[in-house]
Structure 1
Amino acid sequence: MKRFLFAFLSPWIALQATATSITSETLTQRCIDSIQQKNYRDAIALCKQALQLNQAWGRFNPVTAWSNQAIALTYLGDYPTVRAVCNPVSVACINRARSQNYTAALDAYNHAIAINPKDATLWTNHGLVLAKLNRFEEALTSYDWALKLNPEDSLTLVGRCAALNKIGRSSDALTVCDQALIGNGRWGESSAAEAWNQRAVAIASQSPEPSKLDEALSSIDRGLVLKPQDPNLWSNRGAILWRAKRYSDALIAFDRSLAIQPESAQTWFNKGTVLKTLGRYREALSAFDRAITGEISLNQDAAWLDLWTNRSVVLWKLDRYSEALEAAQRATTLAPKSVRAWYNQGLAFSALKRHREANEAYTKATELDPDNVTLLQLQAQTLQALGRQQEALNVVDRILALNPTAIETWYQKGLLLKSLQRDDEALTAFTQTLKLDSRHINALIEQGNLLRKMNRLEDASIAFESVLKIDATNKTAQAARTKLRQQLAQQKKEAQQSAN
Structure 2
Amino acid sequence: MELKIPVNKNKGQVLSSLLLALCCSVLTFYFPKVLLAQEAEKSQDFDYWAKLCKSLVEIKEYEQALAACDQAIALNAQDAITWADRGDVLLALEKYPEAVLSFEQVIRLEPTDGAAWTKKCASLVGLGKYEAAIAACETALRVDERWGDTSPAFAWYNRGFAFRAWGKREESLFSYDWAIQLEPTYSLALAQRCLLLSELGQPSAALNSCDQALQGNGDWGKGSAAIAWANRGQILTQLKQYNEALAAYDQALAIAPQNAEVWTQQGIVLGKLGREGDAQAAYEWALKISPKYALALVNQCAILSRLKMYKEALASCDQALQEGDGRWGKEGPAFAWNQRSIVLTGLKRYDEAIASANRALSLNPNYAEPWSNRSATLWYMGRFTDALASTEQAIALDPHSSQAWFNQGRILTTLGKYEDAEAAYQQALLGDANLGERLTLADIWLNLSALLWRLERYGEAIAAADRAIGIQPDSAQAWYNKGLSLMALQRYEAAVTTYDKAIQFDAKNADFWAGKGIALKFLEKYPEALAAFQQALQLNPTHPQALRNQQVVQQQLEL
TM-score if structure 1 supplies the norm length? 0.63
Q: C-alpha separation between the residues in 2 aligned to 1:350 and 1:308?
A: 19
Q: Which amino acid aligns with 1:46?
A: S
1:105 is aligned to 2:242: no
Structure with more relative contact order (C-alpha pairs < 8 Å, separation 6 or more): 1
* Structure 2 spans left out of the alignment, 5+ residues: 1-177, 272-277
Matches within 5 A, 1:21-170: 21-24=183-186, 27-28=190-191, 30-31=193-194, 33-54=196-217, 57=219, 60-61=220-221, 63=223, 66-78=226-238, 81-82=239-240, 97-111=241-255, 113=256, 117=258, 122-134=259-271, 135-148=278-291, 151=292, 153-170=293-310
Name the SS of the counterpart of 2:428 in structure 1: helix
Q: C-alpha separation between the residues in 2 aligned to 1:164 and 1:379?
A: 33
Matches within 5 A, 1:148-227: 148=291, 151=292, 153-182=293-322, 183-205=324-346, 207-208=347-348, 212-227=349-364
Q: C-alpha separation between the residues in 2 aligned to 1:319 and 1:377?
A: 21
Residue 140 of structure 1 deviates from its aligned partner by 1.8
Q: Is the 8 A contact 1:139 1:163 kept in 2?
A: no
1:283 is aligned to 2:420: yes
Q: Is the 8 A contact 1:258 1:267 kept in 2?
A: yes
Q: C-alpha separation between the residues in 1 aligned to 2:494 and 2:297?
A: 52
Matches within 5 A, 1:467-482: none
Counterpart for residue 383 of structure 2: 246
Q: Which amino acid aligns with 1:399?
A: F
Q: Is the 8 A contact 1:35 1:72 kept in 2?
A: no
Counterpart for residue 396 of structure 1: 530
Q: Which amino acid aligns with 1:142?
A: W
* Structure 1 spans left out of the alignment, 5+ residues: 1-15, 83-96, 418-424, 427-500
When Rg is computed on C-alpha atoms for both structures, the one with the higher figure is: 2
Render the CA deviation track for 1:252-290: whole Å, top value 9, x for unaligned.
111111111122222222221222222222222112222
Q: Is the 8 A contact 2:375 2:391 kept in 1?
A: yes
Name the SS of the counterpart of 1:133 in structure 2: helix
Name the SS of the counterpart of 2:432 in structure 1: coil
Render the CA deviation track for 1:215-249: whole Å, top value 9, x for unaligned.
12111111111100101111111122122222221
Q: C-alpha separation between the residues in 2 aligned to 1:66 and 1:347?
A: 51
Q: C-alpha separation between the residues in 2 aligned to 1:384 and 1:160?
A: 47
Q: Is the 8 A contact 1:136 1:166 kept in 2?
A: no
Name the SS of the counterpart of 1:189 in structure 2: coil
May I ask how many residue pairs the two structures share in their alignment? Answer: 368
Q: Is the 8 A contact 1:67 1:109 kept in 2?
A: no
Q: Which amino acid aligns with 2:332?
A: S
Q: Which amino acid aligns with 2:217?
A: N
Q: Which amino acid aligns with 2:226?
A: W
| Residues 1:63 and 1:168: Cα distance change in structure 2 (over 3 Å) | farther
Q: C-alpha separation between the residues in 2 aligned to 1:376 and 1:281?
A: 28
Q: Is the 8 A contact 2:320 2:336 kept in 1?
A: yes
Name the SS of the counterpart of 2:456 in structure 1: coil
Residue 365 of structure 1 deviates from its aligned partner by 4.3
Q: Is the 8 A contact 1:74 1:129 kept in 2?
A: no
Name the SS of the counterpart of 2:331 in structure 1: coil
Q: C-alpha separation between the residues in 2 aligned to 1:141 and 1:217?
A: 29
Residue 145 of structure 1 deviates from its aligned partner by 3.7
Q: C-alpha separation between the residues in 1 aligned to 2:333 and 2:475?
A: 38
Counterpart for residue 314 of structure 1: 451
Render the CA deviation track for 1:280-307: whole Å, top value 9, x for unaligned.
2222211222222222298655434332
Residue 317 of structure 1 deviates from its aligned partner by 0.9
Name the SS of the counterpart of 1:190 in structure 2: coil
Render the CA deviation track for 1:116-139: whole Å, top value 9, x for unaligned.
x4xxxx422431232222232233
TM-score if structure 2 supplies the norm length? 0.57
Q: Is the 8 A contact 2:249 2:262 kept in 1?
A: no
For the aligned residue pairs, the C-alpha RMSD in angstroms reads 3.5
Question: Identity over the aligned pairs, expressed in percent?
Answer: 32
Q: Which amino acid aligns with 2:209?
A: L
Q: Which amino acid aligns with 1:98?
A: Y
